[in-house]
């Protein structure tokens, strides 16, 4: 399965043993480091060759016009797109005047390791220059979780055979040229030279550059500061100008000696603060980092991660790849959200320019579940960001003639950036997804301060939208017509089951909190009549059901549509959206990602067990998984209906999406939501974890290949461990007050002592069939 022979499987690391120049862009994404505020792609220290150079600051974006051959009312005129900011990771090396460039000379060895416990990317290489001078280079970089403005690099060179004159050039470079975009509409727009220089200030051991983005007027500061150690006479000088600042270190170094550079890079940005303020912010961060020192930063990094893993690790026995993948996934999810601090989590995190750097609904529905149960403060921060953009969402709703809030389908700073309304504006479910994430967070944390200040206003604004968007028909059913659910192969349909179910939850949750916070309700002009309307709409919510087939149609009328002609669809015709017109996808029974299946996960009590079995089998036959978001949800429901081997196959697909580049676009950044889905597939899938009315429950079952699955998670200020084996599961409270949990329907009172319970047998039906050629790769030997 590993398409990359240079990767090997390690439990706590991603290790690359040789460099594959053709896969550079992909490995840059996999080896990206981030703390949610700063993101740096795994570009080689010397900058070239590269796939896509990338350094990002969360929410630093540029505006670009959105053109329409035929415009329409309410179409966004301007889009936000991620900016490649000043590159601070550049360290060039001259070996007796010859630049280290792996395309020349002989690269004897090249190894890179992403260490998931240390939070570092290390690189070691031996290179022999065309003139025959060999050096060993070791570099290690981190983006600090504890000092959010700081990235740091330790760079060490050692001559192998003879004394050499070594020159290290450490740089800050803005407006790097970027490779052009492809024809795929999902590829990010390329922006040339988005940064205008405001300041280029040098110091003896460093420099500060301050730029402003041209259209969005965001001020970006980047600074560097160095510590050099080396033998004998080491000469350090600073120069630069324009978009470049450079510190040059020159020394003669003998074999056995080492020239070492520690580079601290600090970043800051602001839409409001002045150039001096941003300058000083960067310099201050650098001072703090230098005071901490390289070893101090390493120690802080490990301590931060130790704390994270203590409440988040997932141990998998019986599948080393999945073991590696889930830790890799958790690491990237943490990286994406750890220090965002009221900023969004983009679909690619800060690992690449894919999707223009936008965040989507999957932040709330796939990423936040992981953070809520492993790093809840990060989840709260993302929702606080949504709350901060509430005025924009309310303005958008007003533009659309709606009450309440209409959150953007895709955005960086809160403005709607979707230029295709049937899959953008019409996808109102984003609003219920945000509400769902609020409810989930509140159930998992009991955070009343958040509930009052952030959760309740979000629930009110979204509940108002739903009440306004739907209407009662003559039979008294509350209908939500003409909207698009998560499945992008249907659009602008009536009564999407997913949307209606989540809207119902949203309305009910808003009504409930209005009772609990009468003062806040008053502040928000929520009257008892309005609350009654929410309850009434929720109670009357229309959930279509096809009695003839005994399944829920994804949307009203869906099951009357023609089934896609899968037999006539070749492997080369996928993903379908690149080979068939939208109208054809929308009018047929074919599913990109099964939103009806996702509805069964998100609203487990809205379906009977029999309905789940029938629905799952029905949608399995229609779902092509052209979305990276699909497999994990299918794993969850496969497990719930007892299809454990199928669940395991889907788990494998979710887990290896990026490591094996299954969708061939990891080059543009890793799929944060699909990575999160690895955890979801294991915890909610094989672990059967749900929270029902605040009650944490599990229904663990393992596929035959896995001998053990041990989950750790945080819930209501406790850390909990669920240790699952084939026949039994052991529940362990790692800290905190006693807690009730449910094991396969039985309530357990969990205190200091672990409790072990047997796993009941389950008889599953025949394995559901997928469309021809679209079955997941078989992972297990089982069945």
The rounded distance, in Å, linking the Cα atoms of 440 and 435 is 9
Footprint of its own copies on residues 689-708 (CB under 8 A)?
none
Residue of 91, 222, 577, 655 interacting with its own copies (CB under 8 A): 577
Tokens read off for 185: 């509409």
CB under 8 A: which stretch of 580-588, 622-630, 652-660, 702-710 binds its own copies? 580-588
Phi, psi dihedrals of residue 442, rounded to the nearest 5°: -65, -40
Cβ within 8 Å of residue 526, ≥6 positions away = 460, 514
The correct pick among 91, 172, 253, 426 for binding its own copies (CB under 8 A) is 426
Are 164 and 96 in contact, with CB atoms under 8 Å apart? yes
| Alpha carbon distance 78, 93 (integer Å) | 42
* 482 scored as a contact of its own copies (CB under 8 A): yes
Question: Which of 84, 324, 418, 634 is the binder for its own copies (CB under 8 A)?
Answer: 418
Find the binder of its own copies among 21, 177, 185, 570 (CB under 8 A).
185
**Is there a binding annotation on residue 593?**
yes
Q: Which residues contact 225 (CB under 8 A, 6 or more apart)?
A: 203, 205, 206, 263, 264, 266, 286, 287, 289, 290
For its own copies, the binding residue among 321, 494, 512, 663 (CB under 8 A) is 494
67 binds its own copies (CB under 8 A): yes
Q: How far apart are CA 632 and CA 188, in angstroms?
A: 25
Known binder of ligand: residue 348? no
394 is an annotated ligand-binding site residue: no
Give, as ranges, the residues between 509 and 568 that touch its own copies (CB under 8 A). 548, 556-557, 560-562
Which residue matches tokens 């600073």?
238
Q: Which stretch binds its own copies (CB under 8 A): 20-28, 173-181, 500-508, 584-592?
A: 584-592
Q: CB 419 → its own copies: shortest distance, Å? A: 3
Q: Active site residue: 488, 556, 653, 721, which one?
A: 488
Dihedral sign from CA coordinates of 130, 131, 134, 139: negative
Report whether 250 contacts 273 (CB < 8 A).
no
Only one of the segments 375-383, 457-465, 487-495, 605-613 lies at the binding site for its own copies (rule: CB under 8 A); that segment is 487-495
Decide whether 581 or 766 has the Cβ nearer to its own copies.
581
Instruction: Assess contact for 652 and 777: CB atoms under 8 A.
Output: yes
361 labelled ligand-binding: yes
Cα-only R_g, the chain: 27
Check binding of 411 to its own copies (CB under 8 A). no
Judged by phi (left if over 0) then psi (alpha if -120 to 50, else beta), residue 320 lies in alpha
Site string for its own copies, 206-245 (x = CB under 8 A): ----------------------------------------
Sites for its own copies among residues 76-115 (CB under 8 A): 79
Whole-angstrom distance, CA of residue 510 vs CA of residue 314: 34
CB of 461 to its own copies, least distance (A): 19
Of 5, 22, 69, 571, the one binding its own copies by CB under 8 A: 69
Q: Which two tokens stand for residue 657?
A: 């999406």
Q: List the one residue from 108, 217, 235, 579 that touches its own copies (CB under 8 A).
A: 579
Name the DSSP class of 560. G
- What order of strands is seen across the sheet that includes strand 98-99? 98-99, 91-95, 164-173, 244-253, 235-241
C-alpha–C-alpha distance, residues 672 and 658, integer Å: 9
Task: Name which of 5 and 401 has its Cβ closer to its own copies.
Answer: 401
Cα gap 322→677, rounded to integer Å:
12
Is 488 considered catalytic here? yes
- How many angstroms separate the CA atoms of 386 and 381, rounded? 9
Q: How far is the CB of 66 from its own copies (least distance, A)?
A: 4
Nearest distance, CB of residue 731 and its own copies, angstroms: 47
Angle subtended at Cα 553 by Cα 551 and Cα 557, rounded to the nearest 5 degrees: 130
Q: Which of residues 385-404 bind its own copies (CB under 8 A)?
A: 400-401
Count the site residues for its own copies by CB under 8 A: 47
Which residues are the active-site residues? 488
Binding site for its own copies (CB under 8 A): 66-74, 79, 185, 400-401, 418-422, 425-426, 471, 473-474, 479, 481-483, 491-492, 494, 548, 556-557, 560-562, 577-584, 586-588
Annotated binding-site positions:
361-362, 592-593
Annotated binding-site positions for substrate:
361-362, 592-593
């Amino acid at each position: 399965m590993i398409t990359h022979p240079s990767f090997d499987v390690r439990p706590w690391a991603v290790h690359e043993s040789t460099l594959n120049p053709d896969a550079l862009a992909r490995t840059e994404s996999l080896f990206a480091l981030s703390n949610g505020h700063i993101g740096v792609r795994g570009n080689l220290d010397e900058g070239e060759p590269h796939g896509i150079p990338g350094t990002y600051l969360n929410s630093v974006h540029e505006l670009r016009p959105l053109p329409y051959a035929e415009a329409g009312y309410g179409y966004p005129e301007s889009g936000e797109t991620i900016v490649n900011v000043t590159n601070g990771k550049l360290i060039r090396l001259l070996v007796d005047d010859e630049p280290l460039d792996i395309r020349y000379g002989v690269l004897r060895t090249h190894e890179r390791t992403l260490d998931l416990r240390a939070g570092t990317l290390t690189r070691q290489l031996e290179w022999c220059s065309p003139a025959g001078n060999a050096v060993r280079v070791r570099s290690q970089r981190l983006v600090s979780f504890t000092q959010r403005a700081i990235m740091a690099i330790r760079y060490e060179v050692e001559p192998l055979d003879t004394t050499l004159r070594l020159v290290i050039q450490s740089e800050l470079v803005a407006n790097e040229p970027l490779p052009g975009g492809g024809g795929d509409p999902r590829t990010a727009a390329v922006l040339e030279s988005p940064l205008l220089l405001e300041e280029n200030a040098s110091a003896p051991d460093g420099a500060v550059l301050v730029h402003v983005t041209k259209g969005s007027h965001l001020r970006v500061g980047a600074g560097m500061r160095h510590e050099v150690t080396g033998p004998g006479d080491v000469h350090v000088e600073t120069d630069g100008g324009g978009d470049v600042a450079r510190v040059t270190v020159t020394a003669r170094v003998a074999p056995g000696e080492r020239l070492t550079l520690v580079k601290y890079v600090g970043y800051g940005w602001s839409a409001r603060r002045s150039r001096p303020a941003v300058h000083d912010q960067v310099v201050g961060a650098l001072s703090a980092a230098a005071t901490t020192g390289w070893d101090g930063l390493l120690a802080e990094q490990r301590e931060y991660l130790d704390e994270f893993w203590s409440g988040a690790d997932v141990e998998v026995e019986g599948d080393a790849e999945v073991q590696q993948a889930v830790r890799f996934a958790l690491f990237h999810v943490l990286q994406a959200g750890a220090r965002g601090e009221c900023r969004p989590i983009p679909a690619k995190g800060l690992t690449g320019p894919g999707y223009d750097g936008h965040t989507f609904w999957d932040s709330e529905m796939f990423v936040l579940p992981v953070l809520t149960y492993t790093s809840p403060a990060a989840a709260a921060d993302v929702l606080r960001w949504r709350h901060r953009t509430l005025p924009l969402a309310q303005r958008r709703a007003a533009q659309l003639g709606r009450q309440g809030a209409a959150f953007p389908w895709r955005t960086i700073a809160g403005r709607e950036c979707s230029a295709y309304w049937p899959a953008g504006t019409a996808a109102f479910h984003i609003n219920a997804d945000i509400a769902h994430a609020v409810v989930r967070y509140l159930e998992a944390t009991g955070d009343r301060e958040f509930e009052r200040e952030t959760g309740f206003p979000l629930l009110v604004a979204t509940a108002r939208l739903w009440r306004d968007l739907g209407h009662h028909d003559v039979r008294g059913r509350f209908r939500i017509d003409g909207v698009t659910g998560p499945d992008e192969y249907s659009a602008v349909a009536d009564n999407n089951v997913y949307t209606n179910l989540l809207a119902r939850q949203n309305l009910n949750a808003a009504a409930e909190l209005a009772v609990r916070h009468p003062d806040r309700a008053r502040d928000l002009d929520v009257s008892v009549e309005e609350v009654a309307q929410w309850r009434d709409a929720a109670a009357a919510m229309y959930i279509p059901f096809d009695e003839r087939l005994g399944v829920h149609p994804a949307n009203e009328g869906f099951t009357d549509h023609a089934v896609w002609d899968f037999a006539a669809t070749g492997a080369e015709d996928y993903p379908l959206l690149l080979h068939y017109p939208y109208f054809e996808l929308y009018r047929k029974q074919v599913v990109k990602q099964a939103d009806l299946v996702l509805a069964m996960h998100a609203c487990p009590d809205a379906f009977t067990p029999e309905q789940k079995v029938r629905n799952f089998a029905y949608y399995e036959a229609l779902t092509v998984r052209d979305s990276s978001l699909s497999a994990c949800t299918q794993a969850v429901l496969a497990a719930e209906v007892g299809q454990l081997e199928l669940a395991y196959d889907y788990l494998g697909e979710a887990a290896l999406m990026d490591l094996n580049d299954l969708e061939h676009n990891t080059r543009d950044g890793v799929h944060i939501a699909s990575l999160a889905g690895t955890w979801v597939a294991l915890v909610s899938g094989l672990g059967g974890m749900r929270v029902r009315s605040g009650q944490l429950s599990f229904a663990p079952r393992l596929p035959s290949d896995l001998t053990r699955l041990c989950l750790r998670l945080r819930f209501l200020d406790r850390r909990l461990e669920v240790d699952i084996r084939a026949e039994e599961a052991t529940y362990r409270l790692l800290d905190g007050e006693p807690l009730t949990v449910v094991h396969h329907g039985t309530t357990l009172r969990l205190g200091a002592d672990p409790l072990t319970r047997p796993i009941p047998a389950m008889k599953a039906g025949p394995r559901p069939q997928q469309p021809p050629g679209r079955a997941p790769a078989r992972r297990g030997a089982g069945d």
